[in-house]
Amino acid sequence: VTATALAIDIGATKISCAVVTATGDIRERAVGTTPRVGADVVAAVVGLIGRMASAASVRSVGVGSAGIIDPASGVVTGATSVLANWEGVRLRDDLEAALGLPVTIMNDIHAHAWGEKRFGAGASRDSVFVVAVGTGLGAVLATRRGIEPGAHGASGHFGHISCPEAGTEPCACGGRGHLESVASGLGVPALYRRLGGDRAVASAKEVFALVDADPVAAATVQHAATALGRAIGGAVNLLDPESVVLAGGMRDPGGPWLSLVDRSIRDVALPTLRGIPLAVAQLGDDAALVGAGHYALTRGGQNDL
Ligand SMILES: [Zn+2]
């Protein structure tokens, strides 16, 4: 019998649950809408799991969740504007009480990076810097030894580093002038409008589609990709990973994006590191589920990184 864990991916809009094997395969899944109030999330998760026949056989649970989760206590300590009343939820204790199983909690970026490191684009590497560009922007180093969550579980807030192209734009975290305001699913259309683009354009996808026809869209993509690549190049100099993996919904939107990011990384990287491979993620939306499930299996439900 192959060992399995229950994996739970808690995002701002949806909750995904899956039974994940030790080899990274997904056996069964259930998806639901994230409740509007964080305190209702545990009940929603329990409801979803009740619909999964194979969930009864698991012995451990791995959670990848939006927000900052304190590694020691399993309590949500920060959530920007992700979920109302999410801060203060005792996510690990409440889930363990509700499910009667050991629960391992990690931030969703950490879970996503672990999935790609273990079973995706980083599987053949000793260390990868996984950059997830979606609605928001996060990135973290994943090595054979796992993920370093940081003293507060807050490592990987890559979108919240200073970025000249962001000027003094307010950020979802409460700060100003952060990379996420330029190079993310929300940042790209916002930058496009700031540069004088069509006010009706609301998504990054629309901006990418306009690149050949609209000089403002072309300039937006140039600025956003260059800013992202510059930040990644700086991180490469700091961490010296074996490879960079671009993940998330904007991993490869077509057009000049990927080559601009690639060039910008190499403009900043130290001469020794300039040849670092840039790969595109392989697991898509399943990365966080696979990562959280595998982490729970290998750590035996102990939240000890
Ligand atoms: Zn920020």
Which residues keep their CB under 5 angstroms from ion ligand 1?
160, 171, 173, 175, 178
The token pair that represents 130 in the structure block: 């996984």
Supply the pLDDT for residue 1. 59
Compute the distance from residue 117 Cα to the ligand 1 centre, in Å.
26
Confidence of residue 270 (pLDDT cuts 50, 70, 90): very high
Compute the distance from residue 270 Cα to the ligand 1 centre, in Å.
27
Residue position matching structure tokens 């995002």: 11
Confidence of residue 82 (pLDDT cuts 50, 70, 90): low
Backbone angles phi, psi at 5, to 5 degrees: -130, 155
Task: Answer yes or no: are the C-beta atoms of 279 and 121 closer than 8 Å.
Answer: yes
Compute the distance from residue 100 Cα to the ligand 1 centre, in Å.
37
pLDDT digits (tens, 9 = 90+) for 144-168: 989 999 999 999 999 999 999 999 9
CA distance 260 to 107: 29
Compute the distance from residue 245 Cα to the ligand 1 centre, in Å.
22
pLDDT at 303 over 50: no
Compute the distance from residue 157 Cα to the ligand 1 centre, in Å.
8
Compute the distance from residue 249 Cα to the ligand 1 centre, in Å.
19
pLDDT at 300 over 90: no
Compute the distance from residue 78 Cα to the ligand 1 centre, in Å.
13
Compute the distance from residue 137 Cα to the ligand 1 centre, in Å.
10
* Amino acid, res. 20: V
Q: What DSSP assignment string belongs to 223-267?
A: HHHHHHHHHHHHHHHHH--SEEEEESTTS--STTHHHHHHHHHHH
- Is 178 exposed, middle or buried (CB count within 10 Å of its CB: 0-12, 13-18, 19+)? buried
Total count of residues recorded for the chain: 305
Task: Give the C-alpha distances (Å, rounded to integers) separating 204 from 29, 45, 105, 134, 147.
Answer: 29, 31, 31, 10, 30
CA distance 258 to 186: 18
CA distance 210 to 204: 10
Supply the pLDDT for residue 115. 97
Q: What DSSP assignment string belongs to 23-42?
A: TS-EEEEEEEEPPSBGGGHH
CA distance 14 to 64: 12
Compute the distance from residue 186 Cα to the ligand 1 centre, in Å.
12
pLDDT digits (tens, 9 = 90+) for 16-73: 999 999 999 999 999 999 998 888 999 999 999 999 999 888 989 999 999 999 989 9
Name, in order, each residue with C-beta under 8 angstroms of 243's C-beta and a sequence gap of 6 or more: 121, 122, 125, 127, 128, 129, 276, 277, 278, 279
